[in-house]
Structure 1
């Protein structure tokens, strides 16, 4: 090649490289501004709230979740309460908003021993449970994320929430366990370790803005590819009354409400109403959520953090910093102020704090708005109190629900708004009554404020989820034909009791929603849930039959439509039809039937570890090892009856023992008459319930027979490739009940 040609070639290569760099730069620039999708969420809040749906019930009904101090934590009420402020060791408050059952935990589910469970901070326990259910609600099998770059970002407090102080008086018994059970850094680390996540794992404590700091950091990590999915949460549990004692003596008027209620932006505001809560969000880039068909609940358009810097005291908010953080988040969202419909305020109920916050919000969002389009202002703290480290996550979940329902819930205890804010000229209106979300012809949008005693301020802007992509029109569930292949529902749990409870939950879900399609339930159970050792499968076509079968399962009753079993750790064998499942002579084989059956199973992703035959049949995987019949036992190819691996025995039981010597614990056989059996060789003759009896006979249509075999194999621990199984259907994911944790009490006091 001549020199000019070399130069030309080099120039072309350089131009190509420059274009590649430009394209990469464009992608990075686009990713830096890409919206973040909220694809899952779950929560535990006062008022018995154990799900977002139950939180909405509290908000929509205008319920106040404040109660007397909890009676199940060992608090000495007589020694604690004194109505006069300022007495050492006493609280002039005796009400707040508390979580139910914070002492209870399903330690076995997470593989945690009894001592470790007792020593573990209840905030950590609750984060474990709500994180698991957040994945389930998103339709994501958390077990499949093991080893992924999923990140964990948790806001959590310490000091007066230190559960470990209960154990200081028993040093000999508990030394060596207190740190691992209570260190705040392990709030995130424990989640990453338990789930096997390998992305960033960060615990944040900025005070009451901790969960917003976690959310903001998670969004940045997603946009820079540090993680592909982010688990974001906040948790506050008060195991003892230290916070109430401390703030009862705090040298600041109207910091803590005597009746335990946060009267946000009210003329009656007289301080913070302390409460507890745990809230978890699942975030991923919007493009990823669309590609993976994950449910998009709402979008994070922009967020920001800043600091108050120098000021008079930690408890004093700084209006200028609040204005600036809102402006920064708004700029990051690419929106302008009058495109925001509502703000979920920090709104703790302190007269000075609410006034400063209201003025900052009005300065950014209220100016120049048409009189008939005010910015609507509210605070979830009026319902459930100030959940502290979980406060932002609570506000985000509230606004996501409000967008979905098209209603802005009212703020309680604020019949008369505070006179310290110029409402008339602010461009804002307090939600003293619930309001329909304004119809603006564009997506619904809201800001959420969160400010910490540390001086760390945060703001996040949310947008209504985009409308789902057009799907082919489907017949309503009641109008769909009941002919065609049978439907398979698969359930699993850690324990038999949990399996029965799960069946009961599913009955309630299906019975409450006549529009729910049985095929969608099947798809969701199979593809959106993790599998456990105790399993059941229901095979039928009709909704009523599913309900009857589940009812039988809850009572541990037998029914032909239910296959039950436990997972086997052994190998799967296909027995070609020259022998029956126990090695007895069978009628002349029907090779075509066998090829069709085993071919169907293989197309669904079920491949045997071993073939049992006198010779390798056509239509089976050529690379599958073959066990031949040899001198009354089974031998691998090339072995003889004298080879140690060959077990020479007689009789059905002995043949089963011979196969177990080769690691085979499950055998699928089909005889010349179409009798198909899935035989368990590692348990009782019936495999525990009915996995081991013939699961399909010549009397069943072939499609029913295949699905029944599939059900029996699944409960034995040999599931198909479910995506292949559902490939030619229009089944789609639907919301189903989450795992029924079987909790026990772990608490150091009676």
Structure 2
């Protein structure tokens, strides 16, 4: 265990922002748990584009070498799957939605569940949504289909702004809702804006993140011909083999609160955003040429706003693309802003998630941020995959930098600082200063390095006398199949990551921090620290087997009566006259109708219904329709 920083600066909780929920979908990792395993093992998820994703005719029109290069990268196995019914989207509309919209809906939901927030609560708060997005490949695909490819849902399905707005609509969130396109810095800039919105009071809770999906080969080919892609499809960050970046796709989302609110709510906090800044390099000799001066300036500004000292930074998650031009510039900027301030022999540790999953461009910043948040939460730094020999243009010792190449447990508790950088090709630079949460925020604690289902929330007060009492575990879902999936997920968590899970805490979290759906189950067997029996019940529920520990059912929502009124032709002479005499409610309602009709007619309603020699003709259109209306209204009463 090594100490990596010391910072005693004072600052206000009001100005700090807590990360209370995380979700991700990255190459080789569908959850934060998967990502953490990938990072600790220093694995690379770079491979080839899934079969059938791109137009083969387009690829056949390229030189073989070009075709091979652009097909390498970190890709998601499935970008088409989507539970449209869960998100109240019709199948036809879902088919016309940009998959980036669909992905962000899923990520946002998973993040708020991880934060222990019921979706209904967001409609009662000013919840903001901030998303970094760059590509619009789906619009390209729609245009290629010609006029027949355009449907009534194409307009909202293809607008980039809707990627954020769709989440706000589904959650009934009323705070700011916007998409940021700042090139490769987009998602970290979105996170910067989300934190600022909380500080200013525009939002009380915020969802921030980014998505990138590579649905056509056009952008990849453009990046290759620009000279940005690595021929071998790997990001050799700060390495002598640096020859371009590996492309990647996916997305991530985080839930933010003001730190003082998170502490008051008893939230488990991944990390704290101390401050952040954005600038632009104003252009070098070329539009895409990075500037060490501007990158150093944005780092210093982020620390100024955070009230912190750059010399106290223990680790920086690099933009780290592995390009010949970008890496040396970023190294020089870090040396100027941080490395030169640290003691000789105590280098600044650096690394980049792009070595694991490729460059997600608009979503790259949120990927690096999530990696750093997991490092802080676990007190562990992870390797930069594939690093071998330092880039000869990056004299690490001279710059007082060190590329992290091993899994290392370190003291990352407050007040140690970490940084995250993200830079756009057009010169937009963003840097963020992070730290661990105050000790008070760790009272509940996440289970393991992350918590898959908000299972670390504790009751607000100790529940005396409950340690030996069986605690029901309550699960719910939108379908029987989904309920089994919930049971399987919780069972897996208990089997692998539960640690010191306590039945009361677990039951309380499931009861109070999850949205409630109609398909429900109660699993018994959890007592105190012994949850083995409950795990057995969950396993049975997951595979649909009966168990004495499990009860399932379906909650039927309250049914409201529906009244169907008949049209003309259903009348008969004497209708409703028995009710006029026998039901005071009916008679009173009919009299109200008669009084309402009186100024407009020259006949008597009751007389028309009872009939007689001098009664109005009930078969007349101008009589039967008001008469039927009055009878139906009175029957309803």
Q: Report if aligned partners of 1:489, 1:538 keep a CA contact under 8 Å in 2.
A: yes
Deviation at 1:163, TM superposition (A): 4.7
Distance 1:107 1:227, change over 3 A: same
For the residues of structure 2 that align with 1:147 and 1:182, how far apart are their CA atoms?
A: 29
Instruction: Work out whether 1:562 is the aligned partner of 2:542.
Output: no
Distance 1:641 1:533, change over 3 A: farther
Match of 1:520 among 488, 491, 505: 505
Q: Report if aligned partners of 2:23, 2:253 keep a CA contact under 8 Å in 1.
A: yes
Match of 2:250 among 258, 277, 283: 277
1:235 corresponds to: 211
Q: Which moved more, 1:313-322 or 1:527-536?
A: 313-322
Deviation at 1:368, TM superposition (A): 3.7
1:68 corresponds to: 48
Deviation at 1:482, TM superposition (A): 8.4
Higher relative contact order (CA 8 A, sep 6+): 2
1:50 corresponds to: 30
1:408 corresponds to: 381
2:432 corresponds to: 460
Instruction: Work out whether 1:498 is the aligned partner of 2:514.
Output: no
2:356 corresponds to: 383
For the residues of structure 2 that align with 1:424 and 1:544, how far apart are their CA atoms?
A: 52
Distance 1:139 1:358, change over 3 A: same
Deviation at 1:323, TM superposition (A): 1.2
1:37 corresponds to: 18
Q: Extract unaligned runs of 5+ from structure 1.
A: 1-28, 473-479, 573-639, 646-750
Give the aligned CA root-mean-square deviation in angstroms: 2.7
1:120 corresponds to: 97
1:135 corresponds to: 112
Q: Report if aligned partners of 1:503, 1:554 keep a CA contact under 8 Å in 2.
A: yes
Instruction: Work out whether 1:358 is the aligned partner of 2:343.
Output: no
Instruction: Work out whether 1:152 is the aligned partner of 2:129.
Output: yes
Distance 1:441 1:98, change over 3 A: closer
Aligned pairs for 1:275-424 (under 5 A) are 275-424=248-397
Q: Report if aligned partners of 1:35, 1:301 keep a CA contact under 8 Å in 2.
A: yes
Aligned pairs for 1:76-115 (under 5 A) are 76=56, 79=60, 82-84=63-65, 92-115=69-92
For the residues of structure 2 that align with 1:179 and 1:334, how far apart are their CA atoms?
A: 45
Deviation at 1:224, TM superposition (A): 0.8
Q: Report if aligned partners of 1:41, 1:397 keep a CA contact under 8 Å in 2.
A: yes
- Calculate the TM-score normalised by the size of structure 1: 0.67
Deviation at 1:216, TM superposition (A): 1.1
- Residue 84 of structure 2 aligns to a residue whose secondary structure is coil
Distance 1:411 1:522, change over 3 A: same
For the residues of structure 1 that align with 2:467 and 2:336, how far apart are their CA atoms?
A: 63
1:449 corresponds to: 421
1:262 corresponds to: 235
- Residue 508 of structure 1 aligns to a residue whose secondary structure is helix
Q: Report if aligned partners of 2:471, 2:504 keep a CA contact under 8 Å in 1.
A: yes
Deviation at 1:548, TM superposition (A): 3.9
Distance 1:140 1:421, change over 3 A: same
1:190 corresponds to: 166
Q: Report if aligned partners of 1:131, 1:280 keep a CA contact under 8 Å in 2.
A: yes
For the residues of structure 2 that align with 1:329 and 1:394, how far apart are their CA atoms?
A: 19
For the residues of structure 2 that align with 1:296 and 1:539, how far apart are their CA atoms?
A: 29
Match of 2:190 among 198, 207, 214: 214
- Residue 220 of structure 2 aligns to a residue whose secondary structure is helix
For the residues of structure 1 that align with 2:520 and 2:61, how far apart are their CA atoms?
A: 49
- Calculate the TM-score normalised by the size of structure 2: 0.78
2:494 corresponds to: 510
Distance 1:368 1:241, change over 3 A: same
Deviation at 1:299, TM superposition (A): 0.5
1:654 corresponds to: none
Q: Extract unaligned runs of 5+ from structure 2.
A: 1-9, 445-463, 561-580, 587-637
Q: Report if aligned partners of 1:37, 1:300 keep a CA contact under 8 Å in 2.
A: yes
For the residues of structure 2 that align with 1:454 and 1:481, how far apart are their CA atoms?
A: 62
Q: Report if aligned partners of 1:167, 1:178 keep a CA contact under 8 Å in 2.
A: no
For the residues of structure 1 that align with 2:298 and 2:518, how far apart are their CA atoms?
A: 50
Distance 1:136 1:45, change over 3 A: same
